Structure 1
Amino acid sequence: MWLPSSGFLQRTANLRKYPLRSCGRYLSYTATESIAPVNLHYDKLVPKDGNATDRPLVILHGLFGMKRNWLSLSKAFLRDLDMPIYTLDLRNHGTSPHARPMNYAAMAVDVLHFFHTHSLTNVSLLGHSMGGKVAMSVALSPECPSDLKHLIVADISPATGPLSPEFSGYIEALKKIESSKVTNRKEAQDILKPYEQDAMTRAFLLTNLKHQGHEHLPLEFQIPLEIIGDSVPDIGSFPYEPGERTWEGSTLFIKGTKSKYINDRNIPVAKQFFPNMVLEHLEAGHWVHAEKPNEFKHLVTDFIRTRQ
């Protein structure tokens, strides 16, 4: 079982460099300020043999997502892989605690803390979009456990750049919905529609809208819109520069052919960080796992099975 080093929660100042081991290699590490982990909420599926800790698949959602978005695929992964399946709510998402900062260093600390507190070994880590960047940050972290076995990244690269403009629009729309004190989803849909024409995307965003008491009271978002809005620049970033770190474990990138998040410019960047990566394509947009769930499941399960 991986145990955290004494420096796990003691990232100090930002001027000195420390030689730390990053999954088997010594690399320079620019320390950051101290980050306290939050205890992430999760769902767990366990195979018939009762194993809950060895060879788990841990799944990280994207921006505005939550663990329950992955329920159907999690059941399919359990059936096909016969291994424990964990789906996490990242900080400021789902029912997990709200906390600053919301950047990849902090979210990686949360996931590493989860591995440790749940005694997970031989982990396969899967992340989509923002969750994919969290997963890559875990693999590249100086505290990466040596028994991280597989990294699977769905339709995102380790490149740095501003988020697409629609994400800022989503924040604006969701804040407008909340300030309007809507009492039903139709009112929320009417406010959101000018910002997003796709009905499935609107429904996805509004899964975060909840009754916080009596059904006639205004609906509220369970996610902290102020924190997420302030964190948009961090969500578009990546904590490491090409060449600063590598992870040489088995890595799968899955690209949606209709999406631009993985492209000819950033594939070489991904290869610098993950020299043993393979790239697969699915005829889909950014939400590859939702648009092509069966094909996505087959890619992931085949990858894990053939790289034990």
Structure 2
Amino acid sequence: MHQRRPLSGLSSVPLAYDEYIPPNGNVTDQPLVILHGFFGSKRNWQSLSKAFMRELQRPVYALDLRNHGSSPHSRPMTYLHMAADVLDFIRTLSLSNVSLLGHSMGGKVAMTLALHPETPADILTKVVVSDIAPVRAKVSEDTVLHIKGMETIERNGIATRKEADEILEGYEKDPLVRAFLLTNLDTNSRSAALKFKIPIDILKEGRSEIESFPWAPGERSFHGNTLFVKGTKSKYINRGNVPIIKQFFPEATVTELDAGHWIHAEKPNEFKKLVTDYILHAGT
């Protein structure tokens, strides 16, 4: 499904999304909107989206951000443009009292939208950020290698997923990470050579933007309910980031789960309980 409506000042794109509607038929009030990370898609969140809908008894919308999944390929790949896309989505579906959950890059999009001066104060009630901080920092070397590996796969004109995995193993040893990256292969294409659904060139171009953040501490703040979830084995949020988080999000709660960067995949039940409890009870 797609939606379309231009946003003043920035060119937005219609985001693909999956919807999970509770038995009471509510489609607009107090929804949970989920934003995936770099190289991810709404598909990564199918099981958790269904579980969140059952637990919360509220609508859940999992989005594909621009240049990911089934959403359009479009330049530029900036957080301001991605936030504009999400705000456009929320307005077009007439969503109200939104809880916004973002992982990694999606977490930065969620933070950008919460901090954005054009975001109406009454749209977002809660923001949940999974394992990322509002800082300008270099992307891990892993991401650089993943892009190189994906470029190599496209260059080599291979025909099977197995061949793609063998090439990617030269750039990423973890089979679970390789499997995650290869979910982006376009296996429905009639072309003899496998290609990726995502535009590797645009994502490579946009890497410096993905490393960045639109504001420095002190420039903007969001005083709503905000939860940051850190993976204890991940370096994406460190002790030095916590004061910065508090500058941007004075009401923020920072908590940890025993996991790496993909907390929701490694500890789905614990993550679901943590997020559900927060959405239902924070601020009450």
TM-score band, normalised by the shorter chain? over 0.9
Q: Secondary structure at the match of 2:120?
A: coil
Deviation at 1:211, TM superposition (A): 2.5
Partner of 1:168: 144
AA aligned to 2:217 is: P
AA aligned to 1:9 is: S
Give the gaps of 5 or more residues in structure 2: 1-5
Give the gaps of 5 or more residues in structure 1: 1-5, 11-34
* Mapped pair 1:209 → 2:208: no
Alignment deviations for residues 274-308 of structure 1 (CA, whole Å, 9 cap, x no partner): 00000111000000000000000000000011125
AA aligned to 2:280 is: R
**Which among 169, 181, 185 is matched to residue 161 of structure 2?**
185
**Which among 233, 237, 243 is matched to residue 212 of structure 2?**
237
Q: Secondary structure at the match of 1:120?
A: coil
1:79-228 aligned at under 5 Å gives the runs 79-147=54-122, 148-214=124-190, 217-228=192-203
Query: 2:200, 2:121 → 1: CA distance?
Result: 36
Partner of 2:8: 9
Alignment deviations for residues 101-120 of structure 1 (CA, whole Å, 9 cap, x no partner): 00101100000000111100
Query: 1:185, 1:39 → 2: CA distance?
Result: 30
AA aligned to 2:71 is: S
AA aligned to 2:50 is: K
Alignment deviations for residues 137-174 of structure 1 (CA, whole Å, 9 cap, x no partner): 00000112222100000000001011011111111110
* Mapped pair 1:267 → 2:246: no
Query: 2:156, 2:92 → 1: CA distance?
Result: 41
Deviation at 1:212, TM superposition (A): 4.2
Contact 1:125 1:150 (8 Å CA) reproduced: yes
Query: 2:228, 2:93 → 1: CA distance?
Result: 26
Q: CA RMSD in A?
A: 1.2
Query: 2:177, 2:119 → 1: CA distance?
Result: 34
Count of residues paired in the alignment: 277
Query: 1:190, 1:37 → 2: CA distance?
Result: 37
Query: 1:267, 1:163 → 2: CA distance?
Result: 19
Query: 2:272, 2:120 → 1: CA distance?
Result: 25
Alignment deviations for residues 211-243 of structure 1 (CA, whole Å, 9 cap, x no partner): 3434x7211100000000011110000001100
Q: Secondary structure at the match of 2:33?
A: strand
Query: 2:273, 2:211 → 1: CA distance?
Result: 29
How much identity, in percent, do the aligned residues show?
Answer: 56
Query: 1:81, 1:143 → 2: CA distance?
Result: 28
Query: 1:218, 1:131 → 2: CA distance?
Result: 30
The structure with the greater share of residues assigned to strand is 1
Contact 1:211 1:217 (8 Å CA) reproduced: no
Contact 1:102 1:234 (8 Å CA) reproduced: yes
TM-score (ref. length: structure 1): 0.88
Contact 1:78 1:85 (8 Å CA) reproduced: yes
**Which among 60, 66, 78 is matched to residue 53 of structure 2?**
78
Q: Which runs of 4+ in 1 moved over 3 A?
A: none
Query: 1:71, 1:138 → 2: CA distance?
Result: 23
Contact 1:156 1:261 (8 Å CA) reproduced: yes
Partner of 2:11: 36
Query: 2:69, 2:156 → 1: CA distance?
Result: 22
Q: Secondary structure at the match of 1:9?
A: coil
Query: 1:229, 1:275 → 2: CA distance?
Result: 34
Deviation at 1:182, TM superposition (A): 1.0
